[in-house]
Structure 1
Amino acid sequence: MLKQTETKKTIAGSAAAVGVAVMCSRVLGLIREQVFAGLFGAGFTYDSFVVAFRIPNLLRDLFGEGALSAAFVTVFSDYDATRTREETYRLASNVLTFILVLLSLLTLGGIYFAKDIVMLLAPDFDLVAGKVELTRQLTRIMLPFLVLISLSAVVMGILNTRGRFFIPALASSFFNLGSIIGGTSLAMLLPRYGQPAIVGMAVGTLIGGLLQLCVQLPTLWKTGFRYRFGLNLRDAGLHRILKLMIPATVGLSATQINIFINTNFAASCAEGSVSWLYYSFRLVQLPIGLFGVALSIAMLPVLAKQAAQKEVIKMKETMISSLTMVFALTLPATAGLIILAEPIIRLIFEHGAFTATDTIQTAQTLALFAIGLFAYSANKVLVPAFYALDKTRYPVIASFLAIGFNLVIVTLTINRLGHLAIALSTSCTMLINFIFLMGVLYVSMGGYSVRYLLKGLGKIVTSTLFLCLVLVALLPLASPWLAGNLIEQAVALFFLIFTAAIGYGLVLQLMRLPELDVIVRRVFAKIIPAKR
């Protein structure tokens, strides 16, 4: 029991560090989206930017940050536990060189075929004069972002394995800073030279990607790592990483196929649909990043080391505890986003070119995305467990099942719901993925404590219902303020969220959820360090 408690504290502590850093990043990310909303609204220009930015993001998830990060951390953690430091760092240098060469070639190919890729992803853009050409231009500018963010992911993996979580998680804040400051400055400057303002934001994306990589390098240097240029394609460690990446990449390709399908559907809906979907999903990514991604990043090195040492019982305890933490944090966030979707969107985005109609459409989309929030975050925790067990084929199967369900749901509902069908389908497929992965993991691990998980879930659901009652009761009182000026809206929303969160926390505390105590202590330890 003592060891289980220590594992909870280790993961919660690391997740707290990541969570605080991710909070900074997500807040800056929202400011970035506010800048876009104010300057470009939802429509022709921002639709083009979203599709253009989605192309390097598709490749990043497919070949870079997603599959690479999990595979690299798994092998690097094993080397760190069983090999010398020189061997471990030699592997890291070789992986960095390999990724640099491979993704540079992919980037050059993407730049050459940019128009064809745009037409494949959003063929209906050709119906609007100039939209394909603008999207192609933005794509060519932003494709090198793929190289920068993938190198950043490898550096992040090295630092996480060495127990450094805060700086790597904070690095994405510098991406947002670069995008905001560099992008906005160029957006105001470039129109004087005959270039669209949105081109400045595309260049700002590259500036942000470079900053995200560079800000981690001093911490990497302090760990003792020294990069040595060289490419050894026969390296056994590189082969292990690629072997892990192949099924993960295949699985992620299913996710990208879903994104490809959804982008096609969205591009065929009313103008602005791509933007409404993007703005709303960016908001959903705030709790996903804070809770799901933070716990996943903190948990993966722990699971990998436990797997290397054949500590199956500890692995089960780690996973169940992490899932309970995810539910405790995401279920109240889900309820809050659904109930407060419209006032949240109005406060954050309804300025400048972003209209009241955009607010309504984005809020409806946000509410549907929020339904699958807890499942999306839980999947971020479940997938690393499969990596640690070297059973990566199961997330692959889950991803391809998602394609089938996504196609069926969107096809049946797109004519009636429009772009909302895509948000609904995304949530449904995440829920299906979650159920499938939980079932397979139960069999793969020889069972785990379902009773403990359900007991905790019952307490969390009860507390979340109380949170909903608080919000429903207070909304009529806050409505006049929510319809007021910017300051009144902010005060009213803060009051609603703060009051509901306090109520939720008190009820959960009364019901004595152990993970809540661990989370609260660790978060406060990061925010208010103890005096020595």
Structure 2
Amino acid sequence: MAETANKRVSARATGVVGIAILCSRLLGLVREIVIASLFGASRNLDAFLTAFRAPNMLRDLFAEGALSTAFVTTFSKKIQTEGDQSAWGLANKVATLTVVFMSVVVLIGVLIAPLLVAILAPGFDAEKAALTVVLARVMYPFILLVSLAALVMGMLNAKHIFGMPALASSFFNIGSIIGGVTLGWWMDPNFGTRALIGLAMGTLIGGFLQLAVQIPSLFKIGFKFRPDFRWRDEGVRKVLQLMGPAVIAASAVQVNVLINSIFASYLEDGAVSWLNIAFRLMQLPLGIFGVAVATVTLPLVSRSAAAGNMPEFRGALAHALRLVMLLTIPSAIGLIILAEPIIALIYEHGRFTAAATQQTAAALRFYALGLVGYSAVKVLAPAFYALDRRNL
């Protein structure tokens, strides 16, 4: 009975998260369409996307990757074994540590931005690299905002609140579109180079909104933030121990993306944009299906593992994997077959040309081959952390 009930809860929650993520991904597509239409696959867009690569990479590695997985696993076990008050104490310690650590990361990122750009895009000429450095310095504080947003999302998910956390990234896209385009137009009505600064500032507006919209839900479930610098706590150590292998695992994808960007920087103007757009399109079904299922499954398997209920653990994991396969295999086939018409329909407007569509479609077909495996890993990896077998 309990297993059947969990499946119903899991399926219902997955549906809620999937719909929320769909809204977010669609708004993300609108954001990409607007930017591509205003700037085309050009040197300016290459500079913007490369500048956003570093904070976005850190977001995937730490905020929405390792930190989220490690924290939700530990936080859920705290709730199961020691109760809410102990779990809130851990949350305060981890939140304080996150603010301090990510503030230092932002400062270092701003200072060494020229070095980061040289690593990310060694093929850029001096003028293009200088523009990328300026944009990177503007956008680097995004990593602090999104790290805190991911932490809040983890607390809410562990308390089985999934809708608003999943919808929060929609507000990032809304802030980026409205704030970024408005500031860009104000700085340069023709949307030339100066408009990119406004677009970069829009990402910070979006990051702030992604954090802010979740705060009321967090207060409703009883959380009160109090700075706590007692980081030698066993729970904090557990989160950090889990983060290490998670960062290594997540870095495999990011290293691939980095290598792609490095090679693309030596090609003609627009190559970085083609790869970025193709990767973003592959992430649409990944987010709607793979991430949605993984988000709901993680608290369930963490609590089952903490309670030693292995039949329930295996049932939840098997159900999640079946659901992922059922949803992502058709998606991958669809992306491969319909790559060009999909990209033409979505992006071929304004300054985005038919030639850019063909190049982007070629990249998308290859990215789509990894969709099923990448989605399955999103579900399987957290299960190993829940079992404390993080080195597998």
Deviation of the 1:173 alpha carbon: 0.2
Task: Please state if 1:346 is matched with 2:344.
Answer: yes
Quote the sequence identity (%).
50
Give 1:2-401 correspondences, 5 Å limit.
2-126=1-125, 129-191=126-188, 196-394=194-392
Deviation of the 1:257 alpha carbon: 2.6
Q: 1:179, 1:205 within 8 Å by CA — same for their partners in 2?
A: yes
Deviation of the 1:80 alpha carbon: 0.7
Deviation of the 1:271 alpha carbon: 2.3
| Residues 1:24 and 1:352: Cα distance change in structure 2 (over 3 Å) | same
Unaligned runs of 5+ in 1: 395-532
Q: 1:248, 1:393 within 8 Å by CA — same for their partners in 2?
A: no
Unaligned runs of 5+ in 2: none
Kindly provide the amino acid, as one letter, of the partner of residue 210 in structure 2: Q
Deviation of the 1:187 alpha carbon: 1.0
Q: 2:184, 2:198 within 8 Å by CA — same for their partners in 1?
A: yes
Number of the residue aligned with 1:436:
none
Counterparts of 1:38 and 1:172, CA distance in 2: 22
Kindly provide the amino acid, as one letter, of the partner of residue 152 in structure 1: A
Q: Compute the TM-score of the two structures, normalised by the length of structure 2.
A: 0.97
Deviation of the 1:136 alpha carbon: 0.2
Secondary structure of 1:270's match?
coil
Q: 1:323, 1:378 within 8 Å by CA — same for their partners in 2?
A: yes
Aligned-residue CA RMSD (Å)? 1.5
Secondary structure of 1:164's match?
coil
Counterparts of 1:245 and 1:367, CA distance in 2: 32
Q: 2:44, 2:193 within 8 Å by CA — same for their partners in 1?
A: no
Counterparts of 1:23 and 1:259, CA distance in 2: 23
Counterparts of 1:251 and 1:330, CA distance in 2: 21
Kindly provide the amino acid, as one letter, of the partner of residue 129 in structure 2: V
Deviation of the 1:243 alpha carbon: 1.0
Deviation of the 1:349 alpha carbon: 0.5
The worse-fitting range, judged by mean Cα deviation, of 384-393 and 295-304 is 384-393
Kindly provide the amino acid, as one letter, of the partner of residue 130 in structure 1: E
1:2-23 per-position Cα deviation (integer Å, ceiling 9, x unaligned): 4332222121111111001001
Q: 2:43, 2:269 within 8 Å by CA — same for their partners in 1?
A: yes
Counterparts of 1:197 and 1:73, CA distance in 2: 39
Residue correspondences, number: 391
Deviation of the 1:195 alpha carbon: 6.2
- Which of structures 1 and 2 has the bigger CA Rg? 1
Which of the pair has the greater relative contact order for Cα pairs under 8 Å at 6+ separation? 2
Q: Compute the TM-score of the two structures, normalised by the length of structure 1.
A: 0.72
The worse-fitting range, judged by mean Cα deviation, of 351-360 and 310-319 is 310-319
Deviation of the 1:387 alpha carbon: 1.0
Secondary structure of 2:90's match?
helix
Deviation of the 1:194 alpha carbon: 9.4
Number of the residue aligned with 1:501:
none
Counterparts of 1:305 and 1:103, CA distance in 2: 29
Deviation of the 1:63 alpha carbon: 3.0
Deviation of the 1:362 alpha carbon: 1.1
Secondary structure of 1:376's match?
helix
Q: 1:334, 1:373 within 8 Å by CA — same for their partners in 2?
A: yes
